[in-house]
Amino acid sequence: MAAIAPLSGIKIIDLTKLAPGPHCTMILGDLGADIIKVEEPGAPTGRRAEQGGATGKVKRVVGFGSVPTNALARNKKSIGLNLKSGPGKEIFVRLAQRADVVVEEFRPGVAKRLGIGYDVLSVRNPRLIYCAVTGFGQTGPYKDLVGHDLNYIAHSGALSLIGRRDQPPTIPLNLLADYAGGGMHAAIGVLAALVARGQTGRGQFVDIAMLDGVMLLIAQALSTYYTNDKIPRRGNTSMDGAAPYYNLYETSDGKTITIGSVEPWFYANLCRAMGCEQYITDQNNHAKWTEMQEHLAALFKTRTRDQWWEHLIKADICVGRMLTLDELASDPQIRARNMIVEVETPTGEKIKQVGISVKLSETPGSIRSLAARLGEHTEEVLGDLGYSMADIARWREEGAIK
């Protein structure tokens, strides 16, 4: 008997396009929620159309849509709805009346202007959970400002902490604001609201700001600052490249080994394993850090990354190999945890995707379907809502649906 997914029976309408929203709904879909992704049919309009410039051809700057390897689009059905049309809006409202959750990432006020905001939908469906993901949130003087991950991590203070000493900050891809501060926090907010609804019987508005989420990620750094009133200098603390025992080193094959021996016993093990017993008493002696780091750097250059890995894991040391993406699928730990999986496409092709990160013993998540084509499920979803094939054909001709 197949296990029941933890979010089985939860219906979610996904209005999102960019990283944080699709990441949120991917997490919820992996855990069993029924996701209906609402996409804009036809040629892009407004600013999206202007991206094409004089040629009129739209440059797809972000995302790769229905490509089977796109994990962010898995476990989702796709319908094409023009929300600016009468039929499109009617269909969406009917969907929302039957849904548990709506997730969107419009600028504040856009959903209300479209007539599909929480104020409208909650009246028709008091149990609805409405999650809005934005950069600065729904309130405050910056709520209408545009931005991307880099802007939010800068404003949160996080960017000031990342990088090497006497160098500009390091841009950490778009991991912190888009995925951790936005997508994951949105998923947490939706899950919390679902639990609350089980207690109160009512839904609620979930206001997720990427700025807020990133600030929570640096809670420890903020706590330290508010304790000692000292602004940390980038690259000068034990956890960001200043300490020789928490650092990365190049090996003889040009690859990288990472050392994280923070605790005194792990540090002592490192010194013994590297033949550096003379430094055992110098873990907190900052005057010795540069000398020790140079000594370790020279030692690590004498063997390959994997040779050092095999040597150091036997000595109870916090050590890690810096893997590149092409190495992940062959790593035995990643294989054992099923974090790179092979999924079969409808045509029988095998493709690789990231696996399910949340491991539940009784109600595990799963990959049930791959990225859908735009509008692939429009007829199915509208049929379930009670619309006739004649309605569907007419609205498709009018451009209200795809």
Catalytic residues: 148, 178
The set of residues, in sequence order, having a beta carbon less than 8 Å from that of 211 and lying 6+ positions away, is 135, 136, 137, 152, 155, 156, 177, 181
For residues 205 and 122, give the distance between their C-alpha atoms in angstroms, rounded to a whole number: 9
Tokens 């689009």 locate to 73
* Residue 46 φ then ψ, to 5°: 60, -140
Other C-beta atoms lying within 10 Å of the C-beta of residue 36? 23
Q: What share of the chain is helix, strand, coil (3-state, %, to 5)?
A: 45, 15, 45
Q: Provide CB contacts within 8 A for 183, sequence distance 6+.
A: 19, 20, 21, 22, 23, 24, 26, 27, 133
Question: What count of other Cβ atoms lies within 10 Å of the Cβ of residue 33?
Answer: 25
Tally of CB atoms within 10 A around 382: 23
Residue 339 main-chain phi, psi, to 5 deg: -95, -10
DSSP alpha helices (H): ranges in 313-359?
332-336
Q: What's CA 281's distance to the chain center, in Å?
A: 41
